[in-house]
Each structure stands twice: as C-alpha cells, then as structure tokens.
Amino acid sequence: MHSFVELAKRAVEEYVKNGNVLTCPKEIPPEMQKRAGVFVSLKKHGELRGCIGTFLPCEENIYKEIVRNAIDAAAEDPRFYPVQEDELNDITYSVDVLSEPEKVSDISELNPKRYGIIVAKGNRKGLLLPDLEGVNTVEDQLRITKMKAGISADDEEVEIFRFTVDRHH
C-alpha cells in the first residue's frame, strides 16, 4: 500500500474510532513535504462512499492535506452519512495528487482519461477527476462538471482548466 493511501486510512480510522486528528510529525518523507491539491476517495464494495479534495493546496504540506481531506471524505461529504466504525474493514482508499491547473483555450486540449477538469463561471466552480468510470467523452466530462458547479449544460461561457493526477490506490 502506498504511503499516501496508508496515511489516509490511518487518518480515517483514528478519527472514526477515537475522534482524533493525526498530527504531522516533524520528520516526514520528502514526497509529503511538497504542497499540492489532493483528493481522497473512499469506496465500499466498489461503490463511492466519500470523496473530498482541494484543487489547490490549503495546507502547508501533502501530509496535512491528505489527513484533512481523508477525514472530510469520511465525515463531511454531504452525499453520504459519516463512515461508522463497523464499516472500516470494507473501505478502500485512493489518493489523487493534482498538478497545478492550467487554463484551456479549446476543448480539443481535453481528454477525460488523461486530464481532470475544472469549469468556472463567476463564483461557481465544478471539478471532475480524470479517468472515471462512465466518463468516456469530453462532452460527458463537461456536462457532469457543469452540473456539479450548478452551471447550465448549454452555457458555453465558462472558463475551463485541466490538470493531471498522480493516483495512488
């Protein structure tokens, strides 16, 4: 199990069992010292059970970003009730570390298998990770992401950004 995934699992288990948030040790591996947006996804029996993330870093390092987003995915995702202790053995984790988003000038620059996207209009923003089951075309990706942002699917006056992820299971 990758160290990012192991950390997400430990953070969720400590929070669900004891109500504690893991503290960042003084010494952490170099790959956790960087800053990046991070998404943590929880699945139970192959079905989404929680997913929360940040497209830009909010914490001082990836360690803290993973801990925060893992706990939020387990306890604060509004689509699901909080993860209970008796579910912990059935939960699988993935951690996506995002590249910095880059503005897209034409949809030909998109590829739903390779790039995640962010759509923005005014203060509305939606994000969709890359390489998701059932998202096979750029049109699917844009429609779903606009819907998440509360933007009409027909609205073409949106800013589009793309990013890549390093996905860890």
Contact 98, 35 (CB under 8 A): no
Where is the domain boundary, 98, 125, 157?
A: 98
Pair 69, 145 in one domain = no
Pair 152, 86 in one domain = no
Of 39, 43, 129, nearest in space to 83 by CA: 43
Of 58, 72, 54, nearest in space to 11 by CA: 72
We report the CATH number of the domain holding residue 63 as 3.30.700.20
pLDDT at 105: 95
Q: How many angstroms from the chain centroid is the CA of residue 73?
A: 9
pLDDT at 1: 86
We report the CATH number of the domain holding residue 114 as 3.30.1490.150
Q: Which two tokens stand for residue 150?
A: 């509360």
Pair 16, 84 in one domain = yes
At 140 the three-state DSSP class reads: helix
Helix %, strand %, coil % for the chain, to 5? 35, 25, 40
Average pLDDT along the chain, 169 residues, taken 10 residues at a time: 96 98 96 97 97 95 98 97 98 97 96 97 95 94 96 92 96
Pair 68, 118 in one domain = no
At 1 the three-state DSSP class reads: coil
When divided into structural domains, the chain yields a total of: 2
Where is the domain boundary, 81, 98, 115?
A: 98
Q: The domain containing residue 36 runs over which residues?
A: 3-98
Contact 16, 78 (CB under 8 A): no
Pair 36, 69 in one domain = yes
Query: What value, to the nearest 5°, has the Cα angle with vertex 138 and ends 135 and 140?
Result: 45
Of 120, 116, 115, nearest in space to 151 by CA: 120
Pair 19, 73 in one domain = yes
Phi-psi bin for 89: left (phi > 0), alpha (psi -120 to 50), beta?
alpha
Of 128, 77, 121, nearest in space to 101 by CA: 128
Pair 113, 68 in one domain = no
pLDDT at 155: 87
Pair 130, 60 in one domain = no
Pair 30, 46 in one domain = yes
Where is the domain boundary, 79, 98, 117?
A: 98
Pair 22, 93 in one domain = yes
